[in-house]
Amino acid sequence: MELVFAWMPLAAAGLVVTVVVVLVALRKRADRGERGILSAAHTERLLALPEYRGAYRRALVKLGGMVLLVLVALGALSVVAARPITTDIADTDRVNRDIVLCLDVSGSMTAADAAIVGRFLELVEQFHGERIALVVWDSSAAQVFPLNDDYDYVEEKLASVQDEVSSDVGDVGDLFGGDPDGDPPIWAGTDLGNGSSLIGDGLASCVLRFDNPDLERSRTIILATDNALAGDPIVTLEEATSFALEREVRVYGITPSGMFGPDEDDLRDQLRRTGGEVFGVDDTGAGQNIVDEVLDDQATTLEGVPELVVIDHPGWPFRIAVLALWGVLFLAWRARI
Amino acid sequence: MVALLPRVKSRLFIHANRRTTNLLEGEYAAISAGRSLDFDDLREYLPGDDVDDIDWKATARTGSPLVKRYKQTRRHDVVLAIDTGRGMAAAAEGGGPKRDLAILVAGALGYLSLRHGDAVGLVTRAGGRVRNRPPRASEAYLETLLRSVQNETRLDAAPGDPYELCSYLLRGVPSRSIVIVVADDVEPAPDIDEALRSLRERHELLWITIGDLDLVRGDGSDREILDVLDGSPVPSVLREDPRLARVYRRRTDDRIAAQHAYFRSRGVSHCRVATADEVVPELLRLLQRRRRNGY
């Protein structure tokens, strides 16, 4: 905690001293004038009354209390005016990364999605400051949440997706196209295309999620799919990969357990073109691998400038000042001034 | 300097109506009890004249009441004994100095005395020294007396002591006179009983108290009230304290009642004057009370 204008309390003290000096000087001058004085005899008939002493003491307490509270309020406000702050050095290199989680929710992936979203959650825990989005796709893509760095929100959303995809297939809620709480199912809007699991379309849609194409940022897609194409995509996986390459997006793959053969080889070949890699969801440390790749590999390409973050803390002195001023008003009312 | 006596007269004749002034004159005549047997002339009856003096035959002839006037065996001396201490320079109820009220009272009674053919003198006590101006029957002299009251009563004068003035009056006024004490608003002091009683036996004694400023109400201005003796202030914030004001009012009422009772129990004609408008009616009431009840 430090003060930006540390001289402010001193200035307030100087102001108080000046005011007191001026008042005393004015009073002295007023004392010299005879015009403002009314001489009265036998004032002891009032001043010697015991009630007078009581009233005098009461007035003194009220006045003293008011002066004290005004000084407290002034002191507290001078602290507010001095701007108490804390400073922090923020790393900007991390916030330069955008990550789109790209989840295949086609029927063939149903059994694997819960584990994959679990992986996503592990990944998210490792990131600090990166912007993260989630897109689900089947024959068309739908965005669950856009790029943002509100990790509480991201984790809450991912947890709710995990909860939903873990439900048994054939749930009553699923049959009627929604879960019991009334929200639309997570895959709502992912069946508008021609076929199922149109991987090229899904990847291309995820590439389109990145905003600010002009900014120099690290862009990563984590694509979870079994590459089991069934239908007629608008773009093929190869075309989508080329599009990602063109947009300087690195794509990592997560594949469900038990997947091997030409689909996985094809996926690995394509994603390696972008500098990415494919991991199995069951690989121990698959998430850590992705995180390391994302952070280590791309940190070198970014030039983060440490930024000084200044946070104001006017809270407690301001509260004291408000309370003191209320006290002054209360005493003024009591004293009928 | 503006002459003081004309101002007194204007208050007697203009502010108070004619009837009051006539009444005053008649009541004043009743103060001096002594009269000779040498008939002088007849004059119109004035309220306050002794009914025994009415000449019934002359009244029957003219149709309006006439009283006999006798040549006075001797001229009465009226001694104005006025407190000119610092306390009298302090404020009366209206905010003006009590001195002005004292001058008004002394001027009114002095002027009536002159009209009645009496001589007026002045005793003051200033700076610890008593000054005694012997009685003379002249308006110019009365004016001089009033002026010296005005000049002596200053904020830097010594504090006055009306009782000490009384003890001087016992020694300094040998012949029987009409003694009019114009005093500050003092507490009745039992140790003065003796002097007061002797004074009352030797002279016709009238005691007029000039009332102090009400310290809570002030004079209506925002002037700061300071004690005339030690300069201690009366804080205006405290004057607004209702409890204090109530107690002060009760104490003041009690004190004034005690003051009246004190003089009454000692048979001294006393009245209390707090504002200029009160002067003429209060004096009239005092003289009427004196004629009817003897005090």
* Residues of chain A with C-beta less than 8 angstroms from the C-beta of B225: 38-40, 43
| Angle (deg, nearest 10), helices A110-126 and A151-166 | 160
* Segments making up each domain of chain B, as ranges: 19-70, 77-293
Selecting from B95, B98, B215 the residue whose C-beta is nearest the C-beta of A46 gives: B215
For position A241, what pLDDT does the model report? 92
Cβ atoms < 10 Å from Cβ of B45: 17
For position A182, what pLDDT does the model report? 59
pLDDT average, residue stretch B111-122: 88
For position B209, what pLDDT does the model report? 94
A40:B228 CB<8 A:
yes
For residue B196, which amino acid is it?
A: L
Q: Confidence class of residue B139 from pLDDT cuts 50, 70 and 90? A: very high
pLDDT tens for A312-332 read 888 888 999 999 999 999 988
Q: Is the dihedral of CA A279, A281, A284, A286 positive or negative?
A: positive
Q: Indicate the fold that domain B77-293 takes in CATH.
A: Rossmann fold (3.40.50)
Q: Which residue of B has its CA nearest to A38?
A: B225
pLDDT tens for B146-157 read 999 999 888 888
pLDDT tops 80 at residue A139: yes
Average the pLDDT over each of A15-19, A26-30, B50-54, B58-62 and give the range with the smallest value.
A26-30
Average the pLDDT over each of A91-95, A121-125, A175-179, B138-142 and give the range with the smallest value.
A175-179
CATH of the domain at A141: 3.40.50.410
Selecting from B185, B238, B251 the residue whose C-beta is nearest the C-beta of A56 gives: B238
Task: Give the mutation candidate from A34, A42, A47 for the B interface (greatest B CB count, under 10 A).
Answer: A42
Mark whether A275 and A145 lie in a shared domain.
Answer: yes
Mark whether A253 and A271 lie in a shared domain.
Answer: yes
Mark whether A74 and A173 lie in a shared domain.
Answer: no
Selecting from B185, B218, B241 the residue whose C-beta is nearest the C-beta of A42 gives: B185
Mark whether A72 and A216 lie in a shared domain.
Answer: no
Between the ranges A28-42, A85-99, B5-19, B229-243, where is the mean pLDDT highest?
B229-243
Q: Looking at the complex, does the CB of residue A335 fall below 8 Å from at least one CB of chain B?
A: yes
What are the two backbone dihedrals, phi and then psi, of residue A48, each rounded to the nearest 5 degrees? Answer: -95, 0
Selecting from B89, B216, B223 the residue whose C-beta is nearest the C-beta of A36 gives: B223
* Mean pLDDT taken over chain B: 84
Cα three-residue angle A16-A22-A28, rounded to 5 degrees = 135
B226:A39 CB<8 A:
yes
Range(s) of the domain holding residue A17: 2-27+47-87+311-334
**Does residue A258 sit within a domain?**
yes
Mark whether A255 and A324 lie in a shared domain.
Answer: no
- Least Cα separation, residue A38 to chain B (angstroms): 5
Q: Which of A287, A276, A300 minimizes the C-alpha distance to A97?
A: A300
**Does residue A42 sit within a domain?**
no
Is the distance from CB of B222 to CB of B283 less than 8 angstroms?
Answer: no
Size of interface A-B (CB pairs under 8 A): 96
Q: Which residue of B has its CA nearest to A50?
A: B244
For position A105, what pLDDT does the model report? 87
Task: Give the mutation candidate from A38, A51, A52, A334 for the B interface (greatest B CB count, under 10 A).
Answer: A38
Mark whether A147 and A265 lie in a shared domain.
Answer: yes
Chain B interface residues (partner A, CB cutoff 8 A): 86-91, 95, 98, 155, 184-185, 212-213, 215-216, 218-219, 221, 223-229, 232, 234-235, 237-238, 240-241, 243-244, 247-248, 251-252, 255
Q: Which residue of A has its CA nearest to B233?
A: A43
For position B73, what pLDDT does the model report? 47
Mark whether A149 and A264 lie in a shared domain.
Answer: yes
Instruction: Give Cβ neighbours of residue B173 (< 8 Å, ≥ 6 apart).
Output: B77, B79, B123, B179, B202, B203
* Residues of chain B with C-beta less than 8 angstroms from the C-beta of A38: 91, 95, 213, 218-219, 221, 223-226
Q: Looking at the complex, does the CB of residue A308 fall below 8 Å from at least one CB of chain B?
A: no
Number of domains chain A is built from: 2
Selecting from A39, A44, A55 the residue whose C-beta is nearest the C-beta of B238 gives: A55
**Does residue A52 sit within a domain?**
yes
* Residues of chain B with C-beta less than 8 angstroms from the C-beta of A39: 89-91, 155, 225-228
**Does residue A255 sit within a domain?**
yes
For position B71, what pLDDT does the model report? 54
**Counting Cβ atoms within 10 Å, is residue A23 exposed (0-12), middle (13-18) or buried (19+)?**
exposed
**Does residue A232 sit within a domain?**
yes
Mark whether A104 and A22 lie in a shared domain.
Answer: no
Rounded to a whole number, what is the distance in angstroms from the first to the last CA of chain B? 38
Is the distance from CB of A98 to CB of A298 less than 8 angstroms?
Answer: no
Mark whether A72 and A150 lie in a shared domain.
Answer: no
Helix, strand counts (H, E) of chain B: 10, 10
* Residues of chain B with C-beta less than 8 angstroms from the C-beta of A41: 86-88, 90, 98, 184-185, 212-213, 227-229
Selecting from B232, B241, B252 the residue whose C-beta is nearest the C-beta of A47 gives: B232
pLDDT tens for A158-170 read 988 888 877 655 4
| Angle (deg, nearest 10), helices A8-32 and A50-81 | 140
pLDDT tens for B163-210 read 788 888 888 888 888 899 999 988 877 777 888 888 888 888 899 999
For position A264, what pLDDT does the model report? 80
Q: Looking at the complex, does the CB of residue A46 fall below 8 Å from at least one CB of chain B?
A: yes
